[in-house]
Amino acid sequence: MAAATPLLKDELDIVIPTIRNLDFLEMWRPFFQPYHLIIVQDGDPSKIIEVPEGFDYELYNRNDINRILGPKASCISFKDSACRCFGYMVSKKKYIYTIDDDCFVAKDPSGKDINALEQHIKNLLCPSTPHFFNTLYDPYRDGADFVRGYPFSMREGAPTAVSHGLWLNIPDYDAPTQLVKPQERNTRYVDAVMTIPKGTLFPMCGMNLAFDRDLIGPAMYFGLMGDGQPIGRYDDMWAGWCTKVICDHLGLGIKTGLPYIWHSKASNPFVNLKKEYNGIFWQEEIIPFFQAATLSKECTTVQQCYLELSKQVKEKLSTIDPYFTKLGDAMVTWIEAWDELNPTGDNLAKLSIADGPAKTKK
Amino acid sequence: MAAATPLLKDELDIVIPTIRNLDFLEMWRPFFQPYHLIIVQDGDPSKIIEVPEGFDYELYNRNDINRILGPKASCISFKDSACRCFGYMVSKKKYIYTIDDDCFVAKDPSGKDINALEQHIKNLLCPSTPHFFNTLYDPYRDGADFVRGYPFSMREGAPTAVSHGLWLNIPDYDAPTQLVKPQERNTRYVDAVMTIPKGTLFPMCGMNLAFDRDLIGPAMYFGLMGDGQPIGRYDDMWAGWCTKVICDHLGLGIKTGLPYIWHSKASNPFVNLKKEYNGIFWQEEIIPFFQAATLSKECTTVQQCYLELSKQVKEKLSTIDPYFTKLGDAMVTWIEAWDELNPTGDNLAKLSIADGPAKTKK
């Protein structure tokens, strides 16, 4: 009997930001090996990152990013996992799955290994329900449906742009919560996938995340974090706020819930507090800003939405800190770089072979 | 060792609408016996409803409703389980739990009987989080918390007004879905309680529902259904739409998820289709109406909110069908009756002993 072809084998890239050897891939081998990996090496570019045998990958270090983007490389963070968004930009696939290198395969309550990627793909390939809440969770799942009182006109749902997966073991807590509850572990397996309703923001974690590049890619910018920036650990949050506002505007859906990965190790809460410190204050103003943000109906592409949002960021958030002026500019640079690497129609010819990665292996 | 006192023993009434003997209570005895029951007998008032020995209850039939409410009894539905809301009105307790008489005790995945009432009480006694989504579900639950990126200023949450429980076995489907999927059973136990975000409507089912009468009671009107009305099976939906809009306005929370009950028997889909027929059309206009509804900031009590909503219903929905003019008037009558039976301050003296139930047993 021939093995079934893995879902979307040639339409999905796995993006991994890292500073170390990728031994964690051994555990993922049964699930990831058929797919192409894009590894974004953070920190010292002279360091050699070992990738286990048999994986098909391309690897970019800081020198590669600088060479490929030139002056526009300034929009890609350094010494922060926010650099992963460079991988989204250089991918040529329709779908992206991104995972942290301290995340392992989790088990479901029956003890079976969870194929996280397969669940993400299922989440992305079936619609979302952002306009009305279904109390039995995902209505498209086997054994479920829309409940009584769910308007029939809304049952087609909306295209799904993002699938946000969760974490067993070490929960994704901020530094203060880590400090207060150092022993807390997430042991609850909640067997549900749900759509985050339109108009509701959520804290998007980049640890175990999949999205449709064609639908929402240019909004998945992880901001300016780490080296030389006054903030860290808000890269995925920033992308989540922008993405949610744009998905709501464009009528796209975002799901959260399954699949779980096993998050192996808590990061250092003292180091985290230093990175998060400003964000903890700033988010008190940033979140009301995004909650109130509206985009004009002329914005019909993700790029247009994102550029309009970048203007509003500069206008309304730069009163918090000059950092937001810089971030607003970086958002524009990001879109310019995205469009350069992802030309459409006539622009295709501009793409030069010199833009390839430093190191590839098939 | 003395048994622990059941939670809120003297502050909660269990409201049960019925047309038959309440044998189903036998299974609930370990959980319900300490509480007071309010039984609302629907249909023929001459029929004797048997209640198992040992339960503390009061029972109201149609004659009692007519006697107590006089001409205002017109707002209470007949030959429809919508009549249950009369029980909410005559209760003098802070909390209500309402359950259908075809609902039995469900088991959790470990095989243990689920004390649905206890879970509802826990849901009501701890805050909701309607203003921002927490990806690990109820942040107040043991072993959970707010995730990274959840604004600290929002972590106090909002008072919880409603706890909406779910159903294993027979899912709460509309007639068309019942007809298409007669064999579908809900077997998935989702171990989560979550807040329905502000601004999002949901289909509220009255089968397994608890609420705080003081916070939201007057909005829990189940409308005009059944005998003489062009619609049925939208009683709880109507209450849910109104309640959600008012909770959002007043900054109150609504939770859904645990606890599950075991829903034993599917109602007849052909009968249901007849009842739902108009609702299936009408909800396509009703839901956008409620999604857009806003209340003026002068409305600071549930009653004020509800009366303002009744005006909007008459103005904006009576174009669908004259029924909505009648319903809007009934909403006003309901509030008048509520205030008569639930006097505050000086009005307390008006309450006459003659308003007692027909039959009580302690």
Closest CB from B145, B150, B205 relative to A181:
B145
Q: Answer whether B149 sits within 8 Å of A256, measured CB to CB.
A: no
Q: Which residues of A touch B276 (CB under 8 A)?
A: 148
Q: What percent of chain B has pLDDT over 70?
A: 94
CA–CA separation, B116 vs B123, rounded Å? Answer: 11
pLDDT of residue B284 exceeding 90: yes
Given the structure tokens 């916070």, which residue do they identify?
B215
For residue range B264-279, what is the model confidence (pLDDT) as tens digits? 988 999 999 999 999 9
Q: Answer whether A287 sits within 8 Å of B151, measured CB to CB.
A: yes
Please give the single-letter amino acid code of residue A141.
R
For residue range A4-26, what is the model confidence (pLDDT) as tens digits? 778 999 999 999 999 999 999 99
Average pLDDT in the B105-125 region?
98
Q: Which residues of B touch A256 (CB under 8 A)?
A: 133, 135
Confidence of residue B145 (pLDDT cuts 50, 70, 90): very high
The list of chain A residues with pLDDT below 70 reads: 1-3, 345-362
Best residue of A132, A135, A177, A191 to probe chain B, by most B CBs closer than 10 Å: A135
Q: Which two tokens stand for residue A231?
A: 């903030």
Average pLDDT in the B8-30 region?
97
Q: Which residues of A touch B275 (CB under 8 A)?
A: none
Whole-number pLDDT of residue A265: 87
CA atoms within 13 A on the CB side of B220: 31
Cis peptide leading into B259, omega within 30 of 0?
Answer: yes
CA–CA separation, B338 vs B303, rounded Å? Answer: 9
Q: How far is B71 from chain A (nearest CA, A)?
A: 31
Does the ipTM surpass 0.90?
yes
Confidence of residue B128 (pLDDT cuts 50, 70, 90): very high
Q: Which residues of B touch A147 (CB under 8 A)?
A: 171-174, 203, 205
Whole-number pLDDT of residue B351: 47
B54: left (phi over 0), alpha (psi -120 to 50) or beta: left
Closest CB from B147, B171, B283 relative to A203:
B147
- Report CA-CA distances (Å) from A200 to A163, A243, A293, B200: 16, 12, 12, 9
Whole-number pLDDT of residue B305: 98
Q: How far is A285 from chain B (nearest CA, A)?
A: 9
Average pLDDT in the B93-117 region?
97
Q: How far is B345 from chain A (nearest CA, A)?
A: 39
CA–CA separation, B66 vs B83, rounded Å? Answer: 12
Average pLDDT in the B240-253 region?
98
Strand, helix or coil at A56? strand
Average pLDDT in the B148-164 region?
98
Whole-number pLDDT of residue B320: 97
Name which of B182, B185, B188 is nearest B257 in CA terms. Answer: B188
Whole-number pLDDT of residue B354: 47
Q: Which residues of B touch A151 (CB under 8 A)?
A: 283-284, 287
CA–CA separation, B168 vs B243, rounded Å? Answer: 25
Closest CB from A135, A145, A205 relative to B148:
A205
For residue range B301-355, what is the model confidence (pLDDT) as tens digits? 999 999 999 999 999 999 999 999 999 999 999 999 999 999 986 545 444 444 5
CA atoms within 13 A on the CB side of A81: 22
CA–CA separation, A240 vs B71, rounded Å? Answer: 55
> Strand pairing of B12-18 and B95-99?
parallel
Print burial letters for A255-294: b (CB count within 10 Å at least 16), e (below 16).
bbbbbbbbbeebbebeebbebbebbbebbeebbebbbebe
Q: Which residues of A touch B143 (CB under 8 A)?
A: 184-188
CA–CA separation, A212 vs B72, rounded Å? Answer: 56
Average pLDDT in the B5-9 region?
88
Bridge partners (DSSP) of residue A194 are: A256
Strand, helix or coil at A143? coil
Mean pLDDT of chain B: 94
